[in-house]
Amino acid sequence: MVISRDGGSPDYGAHSMDGGEPHVQYLCAIRIGRTQGIANTMTSSMSFLGLSSSSSSTVSSPWFYDVVLSFRGEDTRNTFIAHLHHALLQNGIHTYIDEDELRRGDEISPALLQAIENSRLSIIVLSENYASSTWCLDELLNILNCKETKQQIVLPIFYHVNPSDVRNQRGSFGEALAVCVGKFNEDVKKVQRWKAALQEVANLAGYELENGNESKFIQEIVQEVSRMVNYSYLNVAKYLVGLESRVQEIDLLLCIGMNDIRMVGIFGVGGIGKTTIAKKIYNSIFSQFDVHCFLTNVRETSNKVGGLIQMQNTLLNEILKASKCFDVGNVDRGVYELKRKLCSRRVLLILDDVDKLVQLETLAGDRDWFGLGSRIIITTRDRNLLNNHKVDSKYEVKRLDHNEALELFSWHAFEEDKPIEDYVELSKQVISYAKGLPLALTVLGSDLRGQSINQWRSVLDKYKRIPSKNIQEVLCISYDGLDDNEKEIFLDIAFFFKGQHMDYVVKILDSCGSPPSNGIKRLIDKCLITITIHNTLWMHDLLQDMGKEIVRKESRKEPGVRSRLWFHEDVRYILEENAGTKNVEGIKVVLPEGNDNDMIRLSPKSFAKMKRLRFFISRGARFSGRSIDYLSNELRVLDWSNCPLQSLPSNFRGEKLIDFQLYGGRIKDISGQFKKTTYASP
């Protein structure tokens, strides 16, 4: 049996004929969430158009059935269909079969219509007498309509009939349609639709059985169907207000039916809905591609040491499906391998939250990396980045209009599509401050949910003191409603623990004397953080930026007086000038891109004044200086890559350390000094 493509359709399947060994063009589903660990299952409270939850979480399929079978009962019900149906069920494929053998009336049963609309894939078994049933022909019209409107997959099986006879209406198909012409002489258009439908389905990739082994034939079909339906869908927002119209506008730019290679950029302010739109598009069209990948949180990942190589390796390993992990070792080799592996494949690649050109150059450098029919979608906050990469089309996501914003806010504040009567005017005041930004609408709606009118008025009085253009200050109102302990937990997560495992964070925060469980639950309830499917803590970029702005305001001019430090130059200043104070509780320093030669010069007194330092995390920053006189014994996390020290201070006991990581530095064999640490470098 030879399995080949027939008719050039983008639908997946195979047209099989006797002779030769089977060859199937199978699908390769790339699931980044499995390796990145940032899937999101608790976004119901943060579900809205625009919440970039930095998640590639998978959820159950939106289809009720995996497969619906369309067939001519008198030809195949008790033979081929019975065996195929049994094989599908045995392989865990949820299949609908119409059990009504004696049909009456002129319309398809509502149950069958609903099954067709709610199935991921339709298998059409075209047998000798298929076209003699107007029921079957009407089913075919409904199936092809769902293929067009719902992006469903259609797999035809030519059961002892020739695809050419179906396409050109010869033999039994021609005879049956000739009868229809006479019977429906007053409805010529309907007959024409049936003819067009038969021609369309005959042009799709499918299976043909003439005189082959029927058991092996069914096995091949079931294997292919399993590959088609067993995909994980990305979690999209719970409340899809304003989403459909924006998705449709981008669909026009994608031109999925064309056989070119096309790059489309989606851009807009943070929290506007770029990620949500991209997920919805991905779920709708991924089945039409050989390889598909939603690569989330590109910006964050690429900022990690080796982050670009990590993403290249992820793509290659998922594509190759090799038993041994592929490691490109360096970015240049990764570019070469990606181009070599993808150039013959029809690829759907979504790069979410891109902020630098180098990310595009190393993950989707040019169109000749990809096979014909490929689509690359890029989401970013930077329009100029898309211009520099010369994308084919750009789409700016606009803020929600007043009615959309009011509906979205109402869902989160009242769990209804419009405000409760007594709250209409107050709701409109909230809408005017949020300025159509979905993230702000969701956070504020969740914050006000269940509150009295007087409490609403009190909160709105706060809104009036905040400039309407400053979205971060709008978001800060939710922060203001936290108690002191909850605020500290929020800031620690924003600065140091976004993306970290829940158990790890709880253990560290608990050691700081702040029982975190209730505080974390409160942050989740107020939509300030989420817990992913992999039990990691996550936070939207705007909320993280809000936390950093809150700390910056502790002292605008003197960073050494702030509680937490992250900006590279501020860290340099306090360490080189010995400008730290007892206020500093945490430092996280990341090497800026393009500053490979940048060096922070330590002196023996660099840490001397920071008596309450709990966290020191360095990601790729470079230091000079071989010794320091002091490190705080309050440290819970000492995570220092490329540590220049030859030894730790003699007065540093490290009794409160939970995470101790020194790698790429000069200190050897000291982890034994800190046996109580939960996480220690080897």
Q: Which SS3 state, helix, strand or coil, does residue 550 take?
A: helix
The C-alpha atoms of residue 466 and residue 455 are separated, in whole angstroms, by 18
For residues 251 and 270, what is the distance between their CA atoms, to the nearest angstrom?
A: 22
Instruction: Give the pairing type, strands 2-4 and 15-17.
Output: antiparallel
Alpha carbons 275 and 280: distance in angstroms, whole number: 9
Strand order in the sheet with 207-209: 95-96, 65-70, 119-126, 153-159, 207-209
Is 283 in contact with 232 (CB distance < 8 Å)? no
Rounded to whole angstroms, the Cα distance separating 289 from 292 reads 6
347-354 and 537-538 strand pairing: unpaired
What H or E segment, with its residue span, contains residue 480?
Answer: helix 471-480
Strands (E), 611-667: 615-619, 623-624, 637-641, 659-663
Q: Could you give the CA distance from residue 372 to residue 367 in angstroms, rounded to a whole number?
A: 9
The DSSP output letter for 313 is H
With residues binned 3-state (H G I as helix, E B as strand, rest as coil), the percentages for the chain, rounded to 5, are: 45, 15, 40
- Residues in CB range of 667: below 8 A, 6 or more apart: 643, 645, 646, 647, 648
CA–CA distance, 365 with 13 (Å, rounded to integer): 30
Nearest to 212 by CA among 18, 357, 403, 65: 18
- Element of type H or E holding 443: helix 438-448
Phi, psi (deg, nearest 5) at residue 378: -120, 130
The continuous run of DSSP H or E covering 545 comes out as helix 541-552
Residue 293, strand partner residues: 30, 349
Q: How far apart are CA 385 and CA 355, in angstroms?
A: 7
**Is the distance from CB of 359 to CB of 298 less than 8 angstroms?**
yes
Place of tokens 């195929």: 84
Give the catalytic positions in this structure: 139
| Cα gap 127→171, rounded to integer Å | 12
What one-character DSSP code corresponds to residue 482?
S
Q: How many angstroms separate the Cα of 246 from the Cα of each of 49, 240, 249, 411, 542?
A: 10, 11, 5, 20, 22
Closest C-alpha among 35, 42, 48 to residue 502 = 42
Mode of pairing for the β-strands spanning 530-531 and 537-538:
antiparallel
Residues in the chain: 682
d(CA 86, CA 93): 10
DSSP string for residues in 392-430:
SEEEEPPPP-HHHHHHHHHHHHHSSSS--GGGHHHHHHH
CA distance 475 to 552: 16
Reduced to 3 states, what is the DSSP secondary structure of residue 560? helix
* HEC readout, 315-336: HHHHHHCCCCCCCCCCHHHHHH
Are 497 and 519 in contact by the 8 Å Cβ rule? The answer is no
How far is 123 from 497, CA to CA, in rounded Å? 48
The total of other beta-carbon atoms located within 10 Å of residue 507's CB is 16
